Amino acid sequence: MNTLRDSLASIPGAVQNLASVASNYYTYVGVRVQGQSGDSLSAEDRQSVASSPTTTESLHSFNETDSVSGAVLISEKSLPIPASLVKEQWRLIFNSDASVQDLQEAINHCKDLVLISEENSEERRWLVRHLVDLRYSLEEMQEAERDHLEVGPSGKTVVGHHFIARQTGVGKVLHIPKHRHYCDHCTRIIWSVVQASYICMDCHYMVHQKCVDRVARVCAHVIASERQYPILEICPEIGLAAQRYKCMECGTLLNFPLNFNIQCFGRLSKSENSWIEPRLCDYTGLYFCPSCHWNDQSVIPGRVVHNWDFAPRKVSRSALQEIQLFLDKPLIRLEEANPKLFVFLEKLATLKKLRQNLVYMRKYLSECRQALEEKLLEIHIGSRRYLIQSNELYSINDLEQTENGTLAEYLHKVFNCFDKHIRACSMCMAKAYICEICSNDEVIFPFDDGCIICQHCNSIYHRVCMTRKNMICPKCVRIQERRQKFENSEEQEDKSENSNKNDDQM
């Protein structure tokens, strides 16, 4: 609430300071965009941005002014809220310093807004997320009061992020960070030794303590939960015009025309050519500003599924965090999405057969007392049990490991271990089959090479024997003959009953 009051109090002076703010804005743009046409945001650029006289807040105040009508508006960039709900901000509580009573009132008001909002609208989705955040904050505060603990800045809930405080300070031994970390909000360096910072437990969004209450990006875990599946379209671009030439995340004006600056302010010469570079995210197909798109590279799920292309491409920060959440989740039905891959790629066809054999083996091991006591499935498969439950689902990491061959190597080791147990276990051997066609005493299993399974009765035969029988299953023939005899006997009984009835009537 304090942030909104301060913003409203500063509105009269915003129009008078528009020219000076805009000039500083172009200086800020020139520092950040120069030399960034193809490179990621370097440390020198971040330091120059930090030392610039213009801050992110001044950029917000510039966007809050409508240059066409002259009216001063509340910027969507500075508030993580849809424009239609800005007037309700003071009743929904955005800061984390609220009391229990304030949170309860905000929860009740948020419920009312959810009921009157349109179904499947952006406002309802935002309200549901915010309602979850408010309830989470209220529960934490109530638990702290019950345990007589002091509610400190160790944890915060902001637009779906569950922030926890990172360790700071200097102890007896100074631990120098191996990697340099940057704030996802202001893009500046996080000096872990002297600066307090937070990190999201779900998506690893990292932010300064001073920036945590101004975070506008919805948690990637929330977006991934709502979407449920990764985007499998190849760069579904909508264009800058559909985005109104603004960054999709923070609303910064992209590719601002130079002529507007010359006509309105006359401070830049015609030789200078500065603008905020629009950067395309290859995963979502949306455009972002350099603050929200750091030229990070990642494998694109859609290109893997449709083109078997594992070349990393540039994605935004939010897309990178979302893809990382999908990496280990088996959500891709590869054969359903692109069945031709299994025709042209021999490694995929081999992997499919190997996984099908492991599915057969799982049925033996899940019913074997010795295997359950030794925990063979948990030891050799662990959390990737979906690999032996069906041969349809793949994760992004599975597809990458299929390309480099590590997944096939891993599954071959699992196959050999399971096969060794099944052939040495008396309980598993008791469930083996014998080929009925050749009457050989050799036992066979559904996962043996050279064996085939009847799709109707699940009997197992040698492939060579079935070929000699023109792929006709003897057991199915017997079942069909038995069924035919039963039907014929029923027909004869019906005829005899009808004839007896006719005789009685006569």
Structure tokens at 186: 């202001």
Rounded distance, CA 25 to CA 18, Å? Answer: 10
Task: State the Cα torsion 320-321-324-330 to the nearest 10°.
Answer: -110
Specify which residues 207 forms β-bridges with: 198
pLDDT in tens, 420-470: 999 998 888 888 888 888 877 788 888 888 888 888 887 888 888 888 888
pLDDT in tens, 120-140: 787 888 788 778 877 877 777
End-to-end Cα, the chain, rounded Å: 100
Closest CA to 268 of 257, 277, 278: 257
- What pLDDT, on a 0 to 100 scale, did the predictor assign at position 10? 46
pLDDT in tens, 69-123: 332 233 333 345 665 665 565 556 655 566 777 778 888 888 888 888 888 787 8
Contact 268, 320 (CB under 8 A): no
- CB proximity list for 495: less than 8 A, separation 6 or greater: none
- CB proximity list for 412: less than 8 A, separation 6 or greater: 354
Contact 469, 475 (CB under 8 A): no
Rounded distance, CA 316 to CA 313, Å? Answer: 10
pLDDT in tens, 342-375: 999 999 999 999 999 999 999 899 889 999 998 8
Q: At what angle do helices 346-365 and 406-424 cross, to 10 degrees?
A: 30
Query: What does pTM read for this prediction?
Result: 0.64
Rounded distance, CA 248 to CA 254, Å? Answer: 10
- Per-chain mean pLDDT for the chain: 75
Rounded distance, CA 41 to CA 379, Å? Answer: 44
Q: At what angle do helices 396-404 and 346-365 cross, to 10 degrees?
A: 120
pLDDT in tens, 107-118: 888 888 888 888
Buried b / exposed e along 181-207 (16+ C-beta atoms within 10 A): ebbbbbbbbbebeeebbbbbebbebbb
- What pLDDT, on a 0 to 100 scale, did the predictor assign at position 157? 78
Helix, strand, coil percentages in the chain from 3-state DSSP, rounded to 5: 50, 10, 40
**Residue ranges of the alpha helices (H) in 93-205?**
100-116, 122-146
Closest CA to 293 of 247, 335, 243: 247
Map tokens 């193809």 to a residue: 38
Structure tokens at 137: 């904050």
Contact 253, 245 (CB under 8 A): yes
In this prediction, residues 146-153 reach a mean pLDDT of 52
| Domain 229-256+274-327 CATH (choose: 3.30.70.270, 3.40.630.30, 1.10.760.10, 3.30.40.10) | 3.30.40.10
Rounded distance, CA 259 to CA 307, Å? Answer: 43
Specify which residues 393 forms β-bridges with: 333
